[in-house]
Each structure stands twice: as structure tokens, then as C-alpha cells.
């Protein structure tokens, strides 16, 4: 079955560039981002892992741990880090999972069951669906799923923006409009009456009977 938002993120134990981890234990009481890439030593993936390394502190400031994964072995990850630093100027310090038996990729529905049982001999095209992002909350439930095509590098700023929204809306009965950014007005959900909205937010603007906007809560 395909994974969906609010499903429990499947737990697993795997070898990484930082040693053996159990995924749920590794997340702990915080948030986690599991992001995959099709293959080491390929151009788009090299820029992506460097971009994530450059934003690692921004994720950490939000209480979010980052972990990468591909079907390459851990020793390949270690060799590749020099190229990533050369190309992007950033040092990869977050763990990288070596999923050489394809177990985690299949567990997260990133590869079909018939993909085989080994990464040996696989081309990037064989792993085309392995360019995915899973945001997992402290409750170990999946909050966001994104999958990109082979030729399109991810926008990691957008993943941060989405996490800002997810964390804010988990705390308050609000939603965020299209293209929302931190600090901008938010939408009051339908579950909140006008009277309750005044008590909670002080004031709001009624754009449409079903669309009410207010300042972003700060508490």
C-alpha cells in the first residue's frame, strides 16, 4: 500500500555514514526529514546534498533532524562527500543511509517490489522514483510527501517553508494560504467560530464567508 499523510512512518534499522540507526529512535521527540536521491556521483544529486548541507542549521533551528538515503553503500557516500564539497562549498555532516539492499526504498514505496534486492548494477534511471522527501513529526506520523522527477532538483527552501506551516498549524487552529511565508497573515479554520476567533486572535478580516484572515499567532 502507498504511504499517505498521517500514516505512521515505517520504522527501520539501517547502516549510515554516522553508524547504525533505528529511525524512530533517531527522530526521538523532534521532527525528521528523510530525503532520498537516485544515485551517488550524479550531477543533480550532488547539488541537492550540498544545498541541504548549507541549510542544515536552518532545519536544526526548527527542531528538525535531516537524514539522506540512496541505494548506494555507505562507503560510496563517504567517497562522494569530497565531490559535494568541491561543487557546492558545503560539507555534508548529516547521516546518509546506505540502502544497498533496497529495503528502505521499498518500505517507503519509492521502488516497486520487482526492483530486485541489490543496488549493484542499477543506473540512476532504475531509481528514478527515489527522489522523495518525507517530513515526519514527533508523533512519528508523515506530515508531508514530495517526489520529484529525475531532471528537477528540489527547492529545499520550500521544504523549510512547508515545515514552518506544518509546525504553526499543528499548534494553532489556522491554515496558511498559497505562497505563505513566516510572519505573513494566516487563515482561521472553519472549526473556529467568529466569537472564538476574536477571543483567540483579537481581530480578523472576513474576505469571504468561508475565508477569514488574521495575523500569524506568535505564542
Each residue's pLDDT tens digit, 85-138: 999 999 999 999 999 999 999 999 998 777 888 888 888 888 877 899 999 999
Each residue's pLDDT tens digit, 56-73: 999 999 999 999 999 999
CATH 3.40.30.10 in the chain is located at 13-153
CATH no. for 172-214 = 3.30.1020.10
CB 198 within 8 A of CB 204: yes
CB 68 within 8 A of CB 94: yes
CA distance 50 to 127: 20
CATH 3.30.1020.10 in the chain is located at 172-214
Which residues are known catalytic residues?
45
CATH no. for 13-153 = 3.40.30.10
pTM for the whole thing? Answer: 0.93
Residue 1 has pLDDT above 70, yes or no: no
Percent of the chain with pLDDT over 90: 88
Amino acid at each position: 500500500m502507498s504511504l499517505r499523510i498521517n500514516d505512521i512512518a515505517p520504522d527501520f534499522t539501517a547502516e549510515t555514514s554516522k553508524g547504525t540507526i533505528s529511525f524512530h529512535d533517531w527522530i526521538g521527540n523532534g521532527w525528521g526529514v528523510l530525503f532520498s536521491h537516485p544515485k551517488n556521483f550524479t550531477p543533480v544529486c550532488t547539488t541537492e546534498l550540498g544545498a541541504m548541507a548549507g541549510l542544515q542549521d536552518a532545519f536544526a533551528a526548527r527542531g528538525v533532524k535531516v537524514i539522506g538515503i540512496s541505494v548506494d553503500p555507505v562507503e560510496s557516500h563517504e567517497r562522494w562527500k569530497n565531490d559535494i564539497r568541491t561543487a557546492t562549498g558545503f560539507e555534508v555532516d548529516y547521516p546518509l543511509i546506505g540502502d544497498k539492499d533496497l529495503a528502505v526504498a521499498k518500505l517507503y514505496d519509492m521502488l516497486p517490489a520487482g526492483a530486485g534486492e541489490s543496488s549493484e548494477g542499477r543506473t540512476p534511471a532504475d531509481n528514478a522514483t527515489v527522489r522523495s522527501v518525507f517530513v515526519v513529526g514527533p508523533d512519528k506520523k508523515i506530515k508531508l510527501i514530495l517526489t520529484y522527477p529525475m531532471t528537477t532538483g528540489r527547492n529545499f527552501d520550500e521544504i523549510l517553508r512547508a515545515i514552518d506551516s506544518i509546525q504553526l498549524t499543528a499548534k494553532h487552529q489556522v491554515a496558511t494560504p498559497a505562497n505563505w511565508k513566516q510572519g505573513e497573515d494566516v487563515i482561521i479554520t472553519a472549526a473556529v467560530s467568529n466569537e472564538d476567533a476574536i477571543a483567540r486572535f483579537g481581530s480578523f478580516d472576513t474576505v469571504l464567508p468561508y475565508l477569514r484572515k488574521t495575523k500569524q499567532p506568535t505564542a
